[in-house]
Amino acid sequence: MTRVASLYLPQLAIERLRRLEQPTEPLEHVTAGPRFAPPVDDDPGACSVPRGGGWRPGARWARDGVLRHKPIEAEIDALPAHQRPSMREMGRRSEAAQHPFRAMPADEGGGSVSTPAIGWRRLWGRPTILISRTGQRDIVTSACPVALELGLRPGMAAAHARALVTELDVRDAEPDADRAWLDRLALHAVAHWTPTASVSGEDGLWLDLTGTTHLFGGEQRFCRRLLRFLERLGFTASIAIAGTPGAAHALARYGGEAVRLLPSGKETEALADFPLAALRLEPEALQGAARFGLERIADLYPMPRGPLARRLGLRAVQRLDQARGIVAEPLVPMVPFEAPRVERRLLEPIGTAEAIIQVIRDLVDDLVIMLQQRSLGLRTAHLACLIVDGSDQHIAIGTARATREPIHLKRMLSMRVERIDPGLGIEAMTLTAARVEALTAQTIEAGLGRDERPPDVAPLVDQLTGRIEPDRPFRLTSHESDVPERAVRRIGPLAKPLGWPRWRRPVRMLRHPEPLVHVVALMPDHPPRRFTWRGKAYRVVAGDGPERIHGEWWRSREELWAVRDYFRVEAEDGGRFWLFRRGDGVDEQTGNLSWFMHGIFG
């Protein structure tokens, strides 16, 4: 189920200007809480603390203002000289301490506590408007709350605004700076709130919250935290969450609420009473709708699609269907990092291996220059070939270590040219560094004529990976686990393995323990005398053990009482095996006393 949030900043331009004049905390230092904060119960049930007042029990005398600042100095002067405290004590006692019974903040339950409202004039001083030139006229694009109270509105001529208000602070609008701030906020959203965020118009954002709000305690709690985050930055905002971007956009701007949550599938009913401007229609479409007497979105529901498209345009029909969820509306996400990318468009289509390799070499040379400028090294590269008939051919390479060595990259891409089917001919080729890492210069110690550095095997690993399966070259490393099959992990071929345990383990460990049959053993602490594995009978001549291993009860409830007794045995033919018995032979809960083969020694 898709959930999209629309964040609306109605006073973005004017509040950004005030934020520059009155610096607040930087965006990077203001957070909306931990990324994976556990859900917090906003309704813990009955509590002795009054919800409305925000005062602790028994503090009515503090709430009513009984305790006030008393004239301490006058009382001290009225005392006899021998009863007056010393200067040290008097200085200590006369210091005003913060009252212990303070009203809680509004977001912690003290919302009804009356606080002195700070007037807009105190924040802004003179009425302020932003103007931009449209043709030969200066038009008001944004106005502060003081100017709005005086009757100034966006879209008004600047000369008319100056005539209405004499003491008016007129400044030029900066749409590029506003867009840069929105881009910065979208990047912050991608890093902290959701992987998909995009700019919505000139005063808002779209956030794809599908599968992410549970990390913040739910949609309601996420919206409150987001609004408090913007309030600390100095911006007013409203947010709406719905099943479609169009519905969320309309609810955030025309819903009249700071937070609006709409269940998926209710978009048609929720948008019925909204004006047609909520559908993001073009001005020509709005003028045409006004001529035909169409004012609300509900007026468009019964109309056939053909006449509606002729009167308002196909764009209006598409916006209506997108808002109702009939037609999908994709979001163009904000990408935090632009991957290095080079392209070659050919004058004539090519189809031979020699020509393709030559173009690949040119692409690699261009990509290496771009990587050097950014001090990056390539880990994964994608080569896309556009065929004349419109189809695509793709190949990819990966490196074990970040590199920008052109000869090595050309050799790896040339090894996979045979996988490209040119068809009728290739007319364009694109090489993209999908995964990169920082690669800077390294200091090489002087060896005084001796080169004791180990050889770099990364190119060899890359060539082997290109000839066989990409995940085949690997190393084994130990992992913290008591269960043997979990104590070994695969790592990259160039990764450094961790230390191995001191106890002996077989050279070859089976992927899964295999059952043994016809086992003869003396219970409970002796190795088996004979057993059958894979249809072959073995007679044991020597054995050692047991080594008892308990199950990891913190991983699975079934392993709470699990016990394995491992034995090292040697058969008559010289084979040495590592096998175990489930259970300790005493308590039935520890296992059913079945035997399994788990490994083979050298």
At 432 the three-state DSSP class reads strand
Looking at per-residue confidence, does 57 or 292 come out higher?
Answer: 292
pLDDT in the model for residue 555: 84
pLDDT in the model for residue 505: 82
Residue 99 has pLDDT above 60, yes or no: no
Q: Which has the minimum average pLDDT: 64-78, 172-186, 580-594?
A: 64-78
Six-digit token string for 338: 């632009």
Six-digit token string for 237: 């905002």
Average pLDDT, the chain: 80
**CB-based contacts of 476: which residues, under 8 Å, 6+ apart?**
488, 489, 490, 491, 497
**CB-based contacts of 262: which residues, under 8 Å, 6+ apart?**
240, 241, 242, 243, 247, 248, 251, 270
Looking at per-residue confidence, does 543 or 492 come out higher?
Answer: 543
At 176 the three-state DSSP class reads helix
Residue 578 has pLDDT above 90, yes or no: yes
**Mean of pLDDT values over 584-598:** 89
pLDDT in the model for residue 113: 34
pLDDT, tens digit (0-9, with 9 covering 90-100), for 162-181: 888 888 888 898 989 889 89
Instruction: Give yes or no for a contact between 259 and 224, defined as CB atoms under 8 angstroms apart.
Output: yes
Q: Which has the minimum average pLDDT: 200-214, 426-440, 462-476?
A: 462-476
For residue 495, give the amino acid letter: A
pLDDT confidence of 54, banded at 50, 70, 90? very low
Q: Which has the minimum average pLDDT: 336-340, 350-354, 448-452, 479-483?
A: 448-452
pLDDT in the model for residue 244: 92
Residue 482 has pLDDT above 60, yes or no: yes
Looking at per-residue confidence, does 475 or 568 come out higher?
Answer: 568
pLDDT in the model for residue 338: 80
**CB-based contacts of 213: which residues, under 8 Å, 6+ apart?**
3, 219, 222
Residue 85 has pLDDT above 80, yes or no: no
**590/396 Cα distance (integer angstroms):** 50
Residue 120 has pLDDT above 80, yes or no: no
pLDDT in the model for residue 68: 43
Residue 33 has pLDDT above 50, yes or no: no
pLDDT confidence of 481, banded at 50, 70, 90? confident
Beta bridge pairs of residue 181: none
pLDDT confidence of 117, banded at 50, 70, 90? very low
pLDDT in the model for residue 144: 86
Looking at per-residue confidence, does 483 or 369 come out higher?
Answer: 369
Looking at per-residue confidence, does 578 or 448 come out higher?
Answer: 578
* Helices and strands, number each (H, E), in the chain: 17, 21
For residue 398, give the H/E element and its range: strand 392-403
pLDDT, tens digit (0-9, with 9 covering 90-100), for 197-231: 999 988 899 999 998 888 888 999 999 999 999 98
- Please confirm whether the linkage preceding 195 is cis (ω < 30° from 0): no
For residue 74, give the H/E element and its range: helix 72-78
**580/549 Cα distance (integer angstroms):** 10
Looking at per-residue confidence, does 84 or 578 come out higher?
Answer: 578
**Mean of pLDDT values over 90-109:** 44
Rg for the chain, CA atoms, rounded: 37
**Mean of pLDDT values over 414-423:** 88
**Mean of pLDDT values over 542-567:** 88
pLDDT in the model for residue 530: 94
pLDDT in the model for residue 523: 85
pLDDT confidence of 12, banded at 50, 70, 90? confident
pLDDT in the model for residue 137: 87
Percent of the chain with pLDDT over 70: 78
pLDDT in the model for residue 406: 92
pLDDT confidence of 567, banded at 50, 70, 90? very high
pLDDT in the model for residue 450: 59
Instruction: Give yes or no for a contact between 182 and 199, defined as CB atoms under 8 angstroms apart.
Output: yes
CA–CA–CA angle 280, 285, 289 (5° rounding)? 110
pLDDT in the model for residue 557: 83
Residue 580 has pLDDT above 90, yes or no: yes
62-71, 411-420, 433-442, range with greatest mean pLDDT: 411-420
pLDDT in the model for residue 600: 92
Six-digit token string for 75: 């009382």
Q: Which of 487, 481, 471, 472 is nearest to 599 (CA)?
A: 487
Six-digit token string for 183: 């881009």
Q: What DSSP assignment string belongs to 472-510? A: -S-EEEE-S-SSGGGSEEEE-TTSPPPPPPSS---SEEE
Residue 50 has pLDDT above 80, yes or no: no
At 519 the three-state DSSP class reads strand
For residue 303, give the amino acid letter: M
Looking at per-residue confidence, does 18 or 342 come out higher?
Answer: 342
Distance of CA 303 to the CA centre of its chain: 42
Residue 32 has pLDDT above 60, yes or no: no
pLDDT, tens digit (0-9, with 9 covering 90-100), for 308-328: 999 899 999 999 999 999 998
**Mean of pLDDT values over 272-300:** 90
Six-digit token string for 6: 């629309």
pLDDT in the model for residue 22: 62
Output DSSP code: residue 275. Answer: B
pLDDT, tens digit (0-9, with 9 covering 90-100), for 370-393: 999 988 999 889 999 999 988 999
Q: What is the pTM of this model?
A: 0.54
At 119 the three-state DSSP class reads coil
